[in-house]
C-alpha cells in the first residue's frame, strides 16, 4: 500500500525503532493520511467509510449479544427476550444489531449504486469490484442466518423457504438441503450451525474488506468525472480532506440510523417474529427482510417452465443469476467512458434500473398472484436486460459528451461556471496552501 | 448525492402510483378476501412519538383488567412481578400483589413439586399447564401469550402510508389492533358465515371471526381512580399495559434517544463547519 506518496517521518526514538522493524505506523499513515485521493470526490464516495463503521458496529454489538444468547430451539426465543428485558442496555444492543443489519444494506446498496453510476468497476478496477460483490454475498448469507437466530415464526419459516430453494436442483438438491439443515427439517442442528456461521462470516467479511481496500489503494479511487489522476493538482491528501467528509457523512448516517434504533426499532422487522417458532403453524405471508425483497420478487417471477427447467429451478437460477451477473458487469459494459455524467443514455437507463430495483422490492412484499406476478416478470426482464442487452449495446452506439482533460480542469470549469472568484493559481495547487 | 436521491424518488413514486390502482381494482373484484376487513382504529397513545411516556395510572388500570379478566385464559410468562415497580408500585405492593398468585416450585426434599405463594422474582403464572391444555379448554384455539402480543400484531398499512410512518415514528400498530379487536365485536352482516363457536369481528387479522367471544364489556371491572368503567376505556388501558409488557424499556429507550440525537446533531454541525473550513482552502 505504501508508494511514492509516503511522507511518514517517525519523530520519536520508539517510532524509528519500530519503523525499521514493522512499519505498521507507516502503512497506516500512507493509507489514511498522506494517501492521495481525487480532489472532486462527492458525498456518494463516503459510503466506504460508513460501511466500515457499520461492520464495526455489527461486530461489537454482535459479540456482546453472543454472551447472552443461547442457540437452542428450546430457549433461543426466550434468551433474546432475556436480552431485551434483563440485560443492561440489552434492548439497545439488540435493536442496534437488528437495525444495523438493515442500515448496513442501505449503505451497501448506495455504495453499489455509486459504483454503477460512476463506472467504478471498469478497468483497472475489476478485481476491486468483484471483491465487493463477494462482500455483498457474504453479507447476505450473514444477514439471512442472523435473522434465523431469534427463532421467531419468520426466522423459522424464512429458513424453511430459503433452504428449500436448494431442492430445486435436480439430483443433488435434497442432499444439499439436508447438508445445510443438518437434518430433514429446520431444527436444533440448523439453528446451531447458523449461529456458528453467523459468528464466522463477519470475520470473513472483514478479511475480504481488507483485500477490497488493498485493491482500492493499488488502483486509486475513481471520481465523478471518471478520469484517472494525471497530476498532483488532481489530488488532495486523504487527511484532512477525505477524512472530514467521511466523518460528516458518517455522523449524518448515524443520525438516521439512531432515529430508527431509538424511535422505531421494529419498523423494519416483522411482527410475526415476536411469535416463537412453531413448525405446525405457517404464517399467512412468509416475507424476507426488506433488503432481500427485490431478489425474492425475481425468484417468484419465474412461474413458467423453460424446456427441462421447471419454474422452481428457473426461479432459483434467476435469483442467483441476478447476483452472479454483477460479477460480469466490468465486461458487460462496453463503453470506454466511466462516468454517467458524460453518458446521457446510460444515465437515463441507470435511473430506470434504480427505479426498477425499488419497484421489484415493493413487488417482493406483495403476494405472488395476478397482476403482481406479471409486473414482477416485466421488472425481472428489465433487470437482466439492463446488464445483458442495454449495457453492451449502449457502449457501442452511445455518443458520450466531451470529457474534460483532467480532474483539475473539470473542477475549475465548474468553479468558473458557478462564479468562483479564487485565483486560479492558488486553486490549482491546494498542496502548497494549508 | 442530492441529485442521486432527487432522481430516485420521483421515479419510484411514479412507478408505484401507476401500478397501485390497477392492483386495488383487482383485489376488489374478488379472489381471496383480505383480512382484517377493517383497518384498526387509531388511538392517541401517551407512549407514541419520540417523547412518549407510559401513563402509570393507565398501566395500573390495565394490570387490573388483565388480572381480573384476561388472565383467566391468557398467560404472560415472560413478565416477572418485580418489573411491576415500573407501574408506580412500591416494593411492598409488588410483594403483596405477587403473593396473591401461586407458583409451582420444587422438587422438595421428598422429590415432589409443590405450589407456594409467588414472590416478586417469579413470573406471572400461566392459566394452563401447556399449550395443548389451553387449546383443549378453549375450543381448540390456544389463547396467545400476552408478553409480546403488542409487538406481534401488525396490519399492513400499504404504500404510501408506510413511508409517512418513518417520519411520524408510528410503532403503535399493536396496541391499535388490540384496542380495535376488543371494541370491534358486532353482529355478523348478512351473507357472512360464522363457523360454530366463532365470533364475528371485522378487525380480526386472520379471518372474519375468531374463537374468543367478546371478553369484556361496560362496567365489568371496577376502577378506583375515577376513570370511566367502559369497554372503550378497558380496551385502551389493557392495550397500553400490553405495550408496556412487550416493551418495558420503551421510556428509557426514548429518553436515551433524545440525548443521542442532540449529541449527533451538534457533532454533525461541528463536523460540517470543520469541513467547510478545510475545503475553503481549495476548489473541489
| Average pLDDT score over residue span A317-342 | 97
Residue A419 lies in a domain: no
How many other CB atoms sit within 10 Å of the CB of residue A46?
A: 24
Last residue of a domain, one of A282, A314, A343: A282
Whether A430 and A422 have beta carbons less than 8 Å apart is answered as: no
pLDDT band at A10 (very low <50, low <70, confident <90, very high): very high
* Residue B128 pLDDT: 96
Whether B253 and A265 have beta carbons less than 8 Å apart is answered as: yes
* Residue B284 pLDDT: 61
Distance from CA of A262 to the nearest CA of B (A): 5
Cα dist. B51→A199, A252, B46, B86, B268 in Å?
Answer: 36, 21, 9, 18, 22
A170 and A73 fall within a common domain = yes
Domain holding A392, by residue range, is 287-398
pLDDT at B1 over 50: no
For strands B102-105 and B114-117, give the pairing: antiparallel
Calculate the average pLDDT of chain B. 90
pLDDT at A433 over 80: no
Please return the burial class of B91, using the count of CB atoms within 10 Å of its CB with bins 0-12, 13-18 and 19+. Answer: exposed
* Rounded-to-integer distance, Cα A142 and Cα A202, Å: 7
* Residue B159 pLDDT: 85
- A39: chain B residues, CB-CB within 8 Å: 282-284
A316 and A243 fall within a common domain = no
| Average pLDDT score over residue span A255-269 | 97
pLDDT band at A7 (very low <50, low <70, confident <90, very high): confident
What single DSSP character describes residue A404? P
* Rounded-to-integer distance, Cα A181 and Cα B123, Å: 34
CB contact under 8 A, A81 and B78: yes
CB contact under 8 A, A248 and B173: no
Distance from CA of B233 to the nearest CA of A (A): 25
- B266: chain A residues, CB-CB within 8 Å: none
Report residue A349: phi and psi, to 5°: -70, -30
* Residue A1 pLDDT: 42
A256 and A292 fall within a common domain = no
pLDDT at A64 over 50: yes
- A235: chain B residues, CB-CB within 8 Å: none
CA angle, A282 as apex, A281 and A284 as ends, to 5°? 125
Locate A230 and state its grid cell.
Answer: 494525471
Question: Which of B78, B268, B278 minimises the CB distance to A255?
Answer: B268
Whether B270 and B177 have beta carbons less than 8 Å apart is answered as: no
* Residue A419 pLDDT: 45
pLDDT at B19 over 50: no
- B246: chain A residues, CB-CB within 8 Å: 274
Q: Which residue is it, cell 409486473?
A: A375
- Number of residues that this document lists for chain A: 434
Calculate the average pLDDT of chain A. 93
CB contact under 8 A, A264 and B170: yes
Locate B112 and state its grid cell.
Answer: 415432589
Of A99, A131, A127, A132, which is closest to residue A113 (Cα–Cα)? A132
pLDDT at A424 over 60: no
A127 and A246 fall within a common domain = yes
* Rounded-to-integer distance, Cα A227 and Cα A400, Å: 14
CA angle, B66 as apex, B60 and B69 as ends, to 5°? 130
Nearest CA in chain B to A278: B131
Three-state DSSP class for A337? coil
pLDDT at A343 over 90: yes
Distance from CA of B218 to the nearest CA of A (A): 30
Q: Which residue is it, cell 408505484?
A: B16
Whether B234 and B182 have beta carbons less than 8 Å apart is answered as: yes
pLDDT at B29 over 70: no
pLDDT at B203 over 60: yes
Last residue of a domain, one of A247, A282, A317: A282
- Which residue in A93, A113, A251, A379 has the most chain B C-beta atoms within 10 A of its own C-beta, making it the best mutation to test that interface? A251
DSSP string, B118-155: --TTSBPPPSSSSHHHHHHHTTT-PPPPSSSGGGS---
* Residue A368 pLDDT: 86
Please return the burial class of A198, using the count of CB atoms within 10 Å of its CB with bins 0-12, 13-18 and 19+. Answer: buried
Reported as type and span, the H/E element at residue A364 is helix A344-364
pLDDT at A94 over 90: yes
Q: What is the Cα B274 distance to its own chain's centre?
A: 44
DSSP string, B244-278: HHH-TTHHHHHHHHHHHHHHHHHHHHHHHHHHHHH
pLDDT at B12 over 50: no
Please return the burial class of A405, using the count of CB atoms within 10 Å of its CB with bins 0-12, 13-18 and 19+. Answer: exposed
Whether A77 and A150 have beta carbons less than 8 Å apart is answered as: yes
Q: Which residue spans within chain B are E strands per DSSP?
A: 102-105, 114-117, 199-200, 209-210
Residue A249 lies in a domain: yes
* Residue A86 pLDDT: 97
Q: Phi-psi category of A220—alpha, beta or left, where left has phi over 0 and alpha has psi -120 to 50?
A: left
Residue A370 lies in a domain: yes
pLDDT at B30 over 60: no
CB contact under 8 A, A370 and B15: no
Domain count of chain A? 2
* Rounded-to-integer distance, Cα A1 and Cα B128, Å: 66
Whether A151 and A276 have beta carbons less than 8 Å apart is answered as: yes
A120 and A59 fall within a common domain = yes
Q: What is the Cα B212 distance to its own chain's centre?
A: 18
CB contact under 8 A, A252 and B7: no
Distance from CA of A263 to the nearest CA of B (A): 6
CB contact under 8 A, A358 and B8: yes
A379 and A266 fall within a common domain = no
DSSP string, A117-149: HTTTTSTT-HHHHHHHHHHHHHHHHHHHHHHHT
- A366: chain B residues, CB-CB within 8 Å: 23
Locate A240 and state its grid cell.
Answer: 484532512
CB contact under 8 A, B283 and A370: no
A90 and A224 fall within a common domain = yes
Locate B41 and state its grid cell.
Answer: 382504529
Whether A386 and A294 have beta carbons less than 8 Å apart is answered as: no
Please return the burial class of A225, using the count of CB atoms within 10 Å of its CB with bins 0-12, 13-18 and 19+. Answer: buried
pLDDT band at B102 (very low <50, low <70, confident <90, very high): very high
* Residue B284 assigned as binding residue: no
Of A273, A370, A358, A365, which is closest to residue B156 (Cα–Cα)? A365
Which CATH number fits the domain that encloses residue A191?
Answer: 1.20.810.10
Percent of chain A with pLDDT over 70: 95
- B147: chain A residues, CB-CB within 8 Å: 81
* Rounded-to-integer distance, Cα A387 and Cα A348, Å: 14
Cα dist. B112→A150, A313, B119, B127, B155 in Å?
Answer: 34, 57, 20, 21, 46
pLDDT at B17 over 90: no
| Average pLDDT score over residue span B127-145 | 94
CB contact under 8 A, B173 and A271: yes
Strand partners, B105: B114
A102 and A241 fall within a common domain = yes
pLDDT at A224 over 90: yes
Residue A253 lies in a domain: yes
* Residue B158 pLDDT: 86
What single DSSP character describes residue A309? B
* Rounded-to-integer distance, Cα A259 and Cα B50, Å: 9
CB contact under 8 A, B253 and A92: yes
The ipTM estimated for the assembled molecules is: 0.90
A159 and A308 fall within a common domain = no
Distance from CA of B167 to the nearest CA of A (A): 9
Whether B106 and B114 have beta carbons less than 8 Å apart is answered as: yes
Question: Which of A44, A261, A422 minimises the CB distance to B4?
Answer: A44
What is the per-residue pLDDT across A242-256, written as a single tens digit (0 to 9) for each? 999 999 999 999 999
pLDDT at A241 over 60: yes
Q: What is the Cα A133 distance to its own chain's centre?
A: 8
What is the per-residue pLDDT across A291-320, written as a single tens digit (0 to 9) for each? 999 999 999 999 999 988 999 999 999 999
Distance from CA of B256 to the nearest CA of A (A): 8
| Average pLDDT score over residue span B92-102 | 97
- A372: chain B residues, CB-CB within 8 Å: 23
Nearest CA in chain A to B267: A251
Of B27, B29, B37, B32, which is closest to residue B208 (Cα–Cα)? B37
CB contact under 8 A, B1 and A113: no
* Residue A427 pLDDT: 43
- Which residue in A271, A285, A340, A406 has the most chain B C-beta atoms within 10 A of its own C-beta, making it the best mutation to test that interface? A271
CB contact under 8 A, B152 and A427: no
CA angle, A22 as apex, A20 and A23 as ends, to 5°? 75
Reported as type and span, the H/E element at residue B58 is helix B56-68
* Residue A4 pLDDT: 63
Size of interface A-B (CB pairs under 8 A): 156
- A102: chain B residues, CB-CB within 8 Å: none
| Average pLDDT score over residue span B3-22 | 45
Last residue of a domain, one of A218, A250, A282: A282
* Residue A417 pLDDT: 67
Residue A433 lies in a domain: no
Percent of chain B with pLDDT over 90: 82
A180 and A303 fall within a common domain = no
pLDDT at B15 over 70: no
Nearest CA in chain B to A355: B12
pLDDT at A327 over 50: yes
pLDDT at B270 over 60: yes
* Residue A247 pLDDT: 98
CB contact under 8 A, B282 and A434: yes
pLDDT band at B32 (very low <50, low <70, confident <90, very high): low
CB contact under 8 A, B254 and A262: yes
Q: What is the Cα A23 distance to its own chain's centre?
A: 31
> Which residues are CB-contacts of A329 (< 8 A; sequence separation ≥ 6)?
A116, A121, A129, A387, A391
* Residue B222 pLDDT: 97
CB contact under 8 A, B281 and A247: no
A68 and A101 fall within a common domain = yes
What is the per-residue pLDDT across B230-250, written as a single tens digit (0 to 9) for each? 999 999 999 999 999 999 999
What is the per-residue pLDDT across A386-414, written as a single tens digit (0 to 9) for each? 999 999 999 999 999 999 999 999 988 88
* Residue A6 pLDDT: 79
For strands B209-210 and B199-200, give the pairing: antiparallel
Question: Which of B171, B248, B252 minimises the CB distance to A267?
Answer: B171
CB contact under 8 A, A355 and B12: yes
Cα dist. B270→A20, A244, B61, B85 in Å?
Answer: 39, 11, 47, 41
A170 and A254 fall within a common domain = yes
* Residue B70 assigned as binding residue: yes
- A254: chain B residues, CB-CB within 8 Å: 264
Which CATH number fits the domain that encloses residue A322?
Answer: 1.10.287
* Rounded-to-integer distance, Cα A425 and Cα A408, Å: 11
Amino acid at each position: 500500500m505504501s508508494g511514492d506518496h509516503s511522507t511518514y517521518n517517525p519523530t520519536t526514538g520508539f517510532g524509528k525503532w519500530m519503523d525499521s522493524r514493522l512499519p505498521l505506523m507507516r502503512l497506516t499513515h500512507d493509507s489514511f493520511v498522506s494517501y492521495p485521493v481525487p480532489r472532486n470526490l462527492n458525498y456518494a464516495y463516503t459510503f466506504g467509510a460508513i460501511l466500515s463503521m457499520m461492520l464495526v458496529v455489527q461486530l461489537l454489538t454482535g459479540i456482546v449479544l453472543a454472551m447472552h444468547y443461547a442457540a437452542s430451539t428450546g430457549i433461543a426465543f426466550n434468551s433474546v427476550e432475556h436480552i431485551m428485558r434483563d440485560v443492561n442496555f440489552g434492548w439497545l444492543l439488540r435493536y442496534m444489531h437488528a437495525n444495523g443489519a438493515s442500515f448496513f444494506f442501505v449503505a451497501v446498496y448506495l455504495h453499489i449504486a455509486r459504483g454503477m453510476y460512476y463506472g467504478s468497476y471498469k478497468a483497472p478496477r475489476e478485481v476491486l469490484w468483484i471483491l465487493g460483490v463477494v462482500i455483498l454475498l457474504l453479507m447476505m448469507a450473514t444477514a439471512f442466518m442472523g435473522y434465523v437466530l431469534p427463532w421467531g415464526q419468520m426466522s423459522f419459516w424464512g429458513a424453511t423457504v430459503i433452504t428449500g430453494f436448494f431442492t430445486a436442483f435436480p439430483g443433488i438438491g435434497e442432499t444439499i438441503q439436508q447438508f445445510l439443515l443438518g437434518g430433514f427439517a429446520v431444527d436444533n442442528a440448523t439453528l446451531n450451525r447458523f449461529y456458528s456461521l453467523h459468528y464466522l462470516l463477519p470475520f470473513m467479511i472483514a478479511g475480504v474488506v481488507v483485500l477490497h481496500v488493498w485493491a482500492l489503494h493499488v488502483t486509486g479511487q475513481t471520481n465523478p468525472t471518471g478520469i484517472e489522476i494525471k497530476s498532483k493538482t488532481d489530488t488532495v491528501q486523504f487527511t484532512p480532506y477525505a477524512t472530514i467528509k467521511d466523518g460528516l457523512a458518517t455522523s449524518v448516517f448515524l443520525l438516521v440510523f439512531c432515529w430508527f434504533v431509538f424511535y422505531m426499532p421494529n419498523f423494519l422487522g416483522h411482527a410475526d417474529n415476536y411469535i416463537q417458532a412453531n413448525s405446525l403453524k405457517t404464517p399467512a405471508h412468509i416475507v424476507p427482510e426488506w433488503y432481500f425483497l427485490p431478489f425474492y420478487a425475481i425468484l417468484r417471477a419465474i412461474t413458467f417452465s423453460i424446456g427441462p427447467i421447471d419454474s422452481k429451478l428457473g426461479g432459483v437460477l434467476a435469483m442467483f443469476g441476478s447476483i452472479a451477473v454483477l460479477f460480469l458487469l466490468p465486461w458487460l459494459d462496453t463503453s470506454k467512458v466511466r462516468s454517467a455524467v458524460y453518458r446521457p443514455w446510460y444515465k437515463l437507463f441507470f435511473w430506470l434500473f434504480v427505479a426498477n430495483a425499488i419497484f421489484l422490492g415493493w413487488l417482493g412484499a406483495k403476494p405472488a398472484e395476478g397482476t403482481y406476478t406479471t409486473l414482477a416478470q416485466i421488472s425481472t426482464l428489465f433487470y437482466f436486460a439492463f446488464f445483458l442487452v442495454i449495457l453492451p449495446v449502449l457502449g457501442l452506439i452511445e455518443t458520450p459528451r466531451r470529457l474534460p482533460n483532467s480532474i483539475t480542469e473539470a473542477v475549475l470549469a465548474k468553479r468558473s461556471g458557478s462564479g468562483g472568484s479564487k485565483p486560479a493559481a492558488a486553486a490549482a495547487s491546494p498542496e502548497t496552501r494549508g | 448525492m442530492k441529485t442521486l436521491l432527487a432522481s430516485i424518488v420521483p421515479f419510484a413514486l411514479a412507478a408505484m402510483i401507476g401500478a397501485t390502482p390497477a392492483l386495488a381494482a383487482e383485489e376488489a373484484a374478488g379472489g381471496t378476501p383480505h383480512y382484517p376487513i377493517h383497518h384498526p382504529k387509531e388511538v392517541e397513545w401517551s407512549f407514541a412519538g419520540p417523547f412518549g411516556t407510559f401513563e402509570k395510572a393507565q398501566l395500573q388500570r390495565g394490570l387490573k383488567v388483565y388480572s381480573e379478566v384476561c388472565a383467566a385464559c391468557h398467560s404472560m410468562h415472560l413478565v416477572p412481578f418485580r418489573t411491576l415497580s415500573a407501574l408506580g408500585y412500591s416494593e411492598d405492593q409488588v410483594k403483596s400483589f405477587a403473593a396473591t398468585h401461586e407458583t409451582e416450585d420444587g422438587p422438595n426434599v421428598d422429590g415432589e413439586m409443590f405450589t407456594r405463594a409467588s414472590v416478586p422474582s417469579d413470573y406471572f403464572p400461566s392459566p394452563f399447564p401447556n399449550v395443548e391444555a389451553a387449546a383443549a379448554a378453549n375450543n381448540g384455539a390456544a389463547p396467545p401469550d400476552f408478553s409480546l402480543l403488542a409487538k406481534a400484531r401488525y396490519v399492513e398499512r400499504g404504500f404510501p402510508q408506510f413511508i409517512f410512518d418513518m417520519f411520524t415514528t408510528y410503532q403503535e400498530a399493536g396496541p391499535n389492533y388490540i384496542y380495535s379487536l376488543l371494541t370491534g365485536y358486532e353482529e355478523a352482516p348478512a351473507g357472512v358465515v360464522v363457523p360454530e363457536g366463532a365470533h364475528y369481528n371485522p378487525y380480526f387479522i386472520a379471518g372474519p371471526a375468531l374463537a374468543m367471544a367478546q371478553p369484556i364489556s361496560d362496567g365489568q371491572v371496577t376502577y378506583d381512580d375515577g376513570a370511566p368503567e367502559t369497554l372503550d376505556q378497558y380496551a385502551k388501558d389493557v392495550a397500553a399495559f400490553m405495550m408496556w409488557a412487550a416493551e418495558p424499556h420503551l421510556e428509557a429507550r426514548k429518553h436515551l434517544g433524545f440525548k443521542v440525537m442532540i449529541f449527533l446533531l451538534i457533532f454533525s454541525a461541528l463536523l460540517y463547519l470543520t469541513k467547510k473550513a478545510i475545503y475553503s482552502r481549495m476548489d473541489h
